[in-house]
Amino acid sequence: MTKRAYNFNAGPAALPLEVLRQAQEELVDFEGIGMSVMEISHRSKEYERINEETQALFKELLGMPAGYEVLFLQGGASTQFAMIPMNFLGQGQAAGYALTGSWADKAHKEAQGIGETYVAASGSASGLKRMPVPGEFEVRPDAAYIHITSNETIAGSQYAEYPDTGNVPLIGDLSSDIMSRPVDVSKFALIYAGAQKNLGPSGVTVVIVRSDLLERANKRLPTMLRYDTYVKSKSLYNTPPVFSVYMVRLVLEWVKRNGGLQAMERANREKSALIYDVIDSSGGFYQGLVEPGSRSLMNITFALGSEELEKTFVRESEQEGFVGLKGHRDVGHMRASTYNALPYESCKALAEFMKHFQQRHG
Ligand code: PMP
């Protein structure tokens, strides 16, 4: 048996072992063609099928209504920060951004370089300890769109409920929680996500876009920065990241085999509860960084009493086979990322480790 680490990395992150094994098996000979997926034309019938099946799996698993397109782009979610305002933020309009943490801030800064923006909601009054609730959003009727970050990967906060923006298009960065729970796609005009947390390896960015939004898009943009380029070509305008898309297909098949998004949410709730329960019953030894109602099921952030103790925690956890528990370099403290593919046993092991650590150092 291969020894697998307790992988709490924030992204790139754990992938299902079954998926890795399947990819390994198919690596040198994909479906009997004597070549790997990386060695065949993106115009081949084999790759076209991968492309189409992956799009279909998105539609099926997310229960997407008609009128949406699934696109595969490159450049990461960070390129979407710019592409969105370039395409949809026209002159004389403003776009509203919900400022809930580092990723929302990055998206907002990028938009500010391109057009007018306003702060539609903010988490800074709470010290980023909670997400805004729907009633706290300022939805200007003439806004170009409202942008939210469904899960702040660094702060460890996640929306319990998305705002209703009426006729104003809602755009969501779902990079770190897509496929982790059911989502009402019809609330959104556009959803985007880098793959490297819940979907597969890095290299592909998924965009789900409602057709009517495309009609208002800026037509005076370079070809590769226009969404309609990807719609018209079924994401085959130029050479796509074929291996990444193939891996996403395997991961989505795994999600489907394991019961779909409701089952993912149930498992993610159970997994994260193991760790949040240790935090809450530690009498202040561990301090959660986010209020319970906004706690992320994907990125669990917590502090210990001192920087020294946090260093000891990281060192001892590494000695016991835990990987990735050090918080993001911008904020410090601890972060345990518990994406779909992270096994229950890894969370159980971390909860036990945390209890023993408190016994030793509390
Ligand atoms: N948005 C969120 C919520 C993220 O977590 C990340 C990456 N951690 C990004 C955007 C940026 O993604 P990429 O590295 O794919 O550009």
Expressed in angstroms and rounded, the spacing between residue 77 Cα and the centre of ligand 1 is 5
pLDDT value at 357 more than 70: yes
Run of H or E residues at 355: helix 344-361
Note if 129 is an active site residue: no
Q: For ligand 1, is residue 176 a contact (CB within 6 Å)?
A: yes
Kindly indicate the confidence band of residue 361, based on its pLDDT and cuts at 50, 70 and 90: very high
Expressed in angstroms and rounded, the spacing between residue 360 Cα and the centre of ligand 1 is 36
Residue that the structure tokens 């809450």 belong to: 280
Q: For ligand 1, is residue 175 a contact (CB within 6 Å)?
A: yes
Instruction: Provide the 8-state DSSP code for 207.
Output: E
Q: Does residue 335 contact residue 260 with C-beta atoms inside 8 Å?
A: no
Q: Which atom of ligand 1 is nearest to the CA of 11?
A: 8
> What are the E-state strand segments in the chain?
6-7, 68-73, 94-99, 116-122, 146-149, 151-152, 157-158, 170-173, 190-194, 205-210, 287-288, 299-303, 322-323, 334-337
**Mean of pLDDT over the chain:** 97
- Max alpha carbon distance in the chain (Å)? 63
Expressed in angstroms and rounded, the spacing between residue 175 Cα and the centre of ligand 1 is 6
User: pLDDT tens for residues 53-79?
Assistant: 999 999 999 999 999 999 999 999 999
pLDDT value at 302 more than 90: yes
Q: Which atom of ligand 1 is nearest to the CA of 76?
A: 15
For every residue of 211-243, which 3-state class applies, written as one string? HHHHHCCCCCCCHHHCHHHHHHCCCCCCCCCHH
Q: What is the pLDDT of residue 126?
A: 83
d(CA 3, CA 140): 54
Q: What is the pLDDT of residue 89?
A: 98
Q: Does residue 301 contact residue 8 with C-beta atoms inside 8 Å?
A: no
Mean pLDDT to the nearest integer, 107-124: 96
Mean pLDDT to the nearest integer, 15-24: 98
Find the catalytic residue in 197, 228, 271, 326. Answer: 197
Beta strands at 287-288 and 299-303: parallel, antiparallel or unpaired: antiparallel
Q: Does residue 10 contact residue 153 with C-beta atoms inside 8 Å?
A: yes
Residue 220's SS3 state is coil
Q: What is the pLDDT of residue 1?
A: 63
Kindly indicate the confidence band of residue 344, based on its pLDDT and cuts at 50, 70 and 90: very high
pLDDT value at 310 more than 80: yes
d(CA 119, CA 101): 13
pLDDT value at 123 more than 70: yes
Expressed in angstroms and rounded, the spacing between residue 167 Cα and the centre of ligand 1 is 27
d(CA 96, CA 147): 6
Note if 106 is an active site residue: no
Residue 272 is encoded by which pair of tokens?
């994260």
Q: Which residue has its alpha carbon closest to ligand 1 atom 14?
A: 76
Residue 144's SS3 state is coil
Residues of the chain with CATH 3.40.640.10: 18-257
Q: What is the pLDDT of residue 127?
A: 85
Mean pLDDT to the nearest integer, 292-316: 97
CA nearest neighbour of 341 among 6, 48, 55 = 6
CA angle 185, 247, 274 (to 5 degrees): 65
User: pLDDT tens for residues 186-241?
Assistant: 999 999 999 999 999 999 999 999 999 999 999 999 999 999 999 999 999 999 99
Run of H or E residues at 54: helix 45-62
Query: In percent, how much of the chain has pLDDT > 90?
Result: 96
Note if 254 is an active site residue: no
- For the chain, what is the total number of helices (H) and then of strands (E)? 10, 14
Q: Which CATH class is domain 18-257?
A: alpha beta
d(CA 294, CA 136): 14
Query: In percent, how much of the chain has pLDDT > 70?
Result: 100
Q: Does residue 136 contact residue 112 with C-beta atoms inside 8 Å?
A: no
Mean pLDDT to the nearest integer, 299-314: 97
Residue that the structure tokens 């949406």 belong to: 68
Q: Which fold has domain 260-361?
A: Aspartate Aminotransferase, domain 1 (3.90.1150)
d(CA 99, CA 233): 34
Q: Does residue 117 contact residue 111 with C-beta atoms inside 8 Å?
A: yes
Q: What is the pLDDT of residue 330?
A: 87
Mean pLDDT to the nearest integer, 322-346: 96
In 10 A of CB 256, how many CB atoms?
A: 14
Residues of the chain with CATH 3.90.1150.10: 260-361
